[in-house]
Amino acid sequence: MAFKRPPQRRSNSQKKSNVWQIGRLKLNRSLRIPIIAFGLIIIYSVVSFVVNHYNPVKTIPAAQVSMDDSFSTTGYFIRQEKVIDIAEGDTVEYNYSDGDKVSEGTALVTEYANEDALTISRELKNIEENIAQLETLRNVTSTTTNSSQINQKIIDQMNAICEEVESGSLSRITSLASELRQLALKSGSLSNDREDIDVEIASLKTQAADLEERLSGSTTDITSPCSGYFCESVDGYEDIFTPDVVDDLTLSRLNELSDEKPAKTSGKGKVVSSYVWYFAAKVSDTDAKHLTQGNTVKIRFSQASRDVQATVSSIRDDADTDDTLVIFRSQDMNEDLISMRKQVATVVVASYSGLKVPKSAVRMEDDKMGVYVLSNSVASYKNIEPLFEGDSYYIVEQNVTGNDSLVINDDIIVEAKDVNDKKVMK
């Protein structure tokens, strides 16, 4: 007889539980699906509310800027210039500096027979300056001039000379030294009476007469052939880039002139005989569109201390290239420009000063341009008047009051949802 195992019974612990426990919370397992569905509905509702009601506002302040509408070009100076022969050597002394105005017949350069004659001439000039200063100061007395004030001026003048030397700019050294010498003479005159000054002047005049006698016959003057501006050096293109080429000048002709072999320049100087000069430049067709014949522009040269005013004299498109020949005309002359020939220049068509506004913030209302600004969480619409358009911004006119127009430091709204005038932005 076979043995049968009794049927196995499950223990209570092995039975499947109908309880769904979340932490300490116990729920009937049959409610699991409805609870999950309800939770998803709650999450969806919260997200939808945030998306529909959250309105982030991004602003930037209206900043004041100044900018130039300009482009870069390369061109050549064209002037009426007369070349003069100037003797070379250590016994030659220039009487004028670059850019100085001179008259016809003026002694531009003095050549001395030897070094001794040059030394005598310089000593004579120094004495003549002292005589002139003493004659100016002969009426100065201790009752009309305060010595402490003069001493302070002497110290200030010496400091100015030191600053000029340290900066490497020596253009004012001569005038500063002359003023210092005059102050020193004035200081010394306070302790002397008028008779002492007359005696000193008489003595200096005697010395000057003696030096003039010794210098007689030892100098030769090189005079200016015309009135104009003096320049110590030449570049050999004075007879190539002349005003008579301007009327028929083309880009190809300009290139031909610049390739010509310049004349020898050793021992030469020149006088720019006309106050009018031209600057012939190769300009891209795109940049040339910003120019109008007859308009005034500013030209900026890297080697010049200031911008110069010029008129757009002629605009000549070159059909074979993407460039245009532009000829500028000016009468603005100084020591920086007098010796220039080929130059890279920045042509400033116009300068603007106003408030910078990003294009992304601009809105159109009643066919007028404007922006929304944020003040105390309230959006306000303000009109703008563009002065200049850039790639991603406008330069707009700046106003004094901000009732209807944009003013500096207004918070321009560049990003917001459903922005309207007088709307409260949260």
Residues 244, 294 share a domain:
yes
For residue 87, being part of any structural domain is answered with no
The pLDDT of residue 293 is 96
Name the β-bridge partners of 424: 378
Residues 346, 249 share a domain:
yes
Domain boundary among 351, 369, 387: 351
For residue 196, being part of any structural domain is answered with yes
CATH number of the domain residue 282 falls in: 2.40.30.170
Domain boundary among 216, 250, 280: 216
For residue 139, being part of any structural domain is answered with yes
Residues 333, 259 share a domain:
yes
For residue 127, being part of any structural domain is answered with yes
| pTM of full prediction above 0.75 | no
Residues 319, 397 share a domain:
no
CA distance 41 to 45: 6
The number of domains in the chain is 3
The pLDDT of residue 79 is 95
* Beta-sheet pairing, 342-358 with 92-94: unpaired
Name the β-bridge partners of 328: 279, 312
DSSP letter at 21?
E
Residues 202, 258 share a domain:
no
The pLDDT of residue 185 is 60
Residues 283, 331 share a domain:
yes
Residues 257, 187 share a domain:
no
Which domain does 394 fall in, by range?
58-65+353-415
For residue 121, being part of any structural domain is answered with yes
Residues 358, 326 share a domain:
no
Burial category of 317 from C-beta neighbours within 10 Å (exposed 0-12, middle 13-18, buried 19 and up): middle
Residues 331, 344 share a domain:
yes
Residues 195, 178 share a domain:
yes
For residue 285, being part of any structural domain is answered with yes
Domain boundary among 308, 329, 351: 351
Residues 187, 132 share a domain:
yes
Tell the residue number behind the tokens 């003479």, with chain if given: 185
CATH number of the domain residue 391 falls in: 2.40.420.20
Residues 161, 248 share a domain:
no
Q: What is the pLDDT along the chain (426 residues), one digit of tens a residue?
A: 445 555 555 555 445 556 556 556 565 656 566 666 666 777 766 665 555 555 578 888 988 998 899 999 999 999 999 999 887 767 888 889 888 999 999 999 888 888 888 888 888 888 888 888 777 766 554 444 555 666 667 677 777 777 766 766 555 666 667 666 666 666 655 555 567 777 888 888 888 888 888 888 888 889 999 999 999 889 999 999 999 999 999 999 999 999 998 888 888 899 999 889 999 999 999 999 999 999 999 999 988 889 999 999 999 998 889 999 999 999 998 888 999 999 999 999 999 999 999 998 888 888 888 888 888 878 888 888 899 888 889 999 887 665 678 888 888 888 877 777 777 776
For residue 33, being part of any structural domain is answered with no
For residue 421, being part of any structural domain is answered with no
Residue pair 301/336 in contact by the 8 Å Cβ criterion: yes
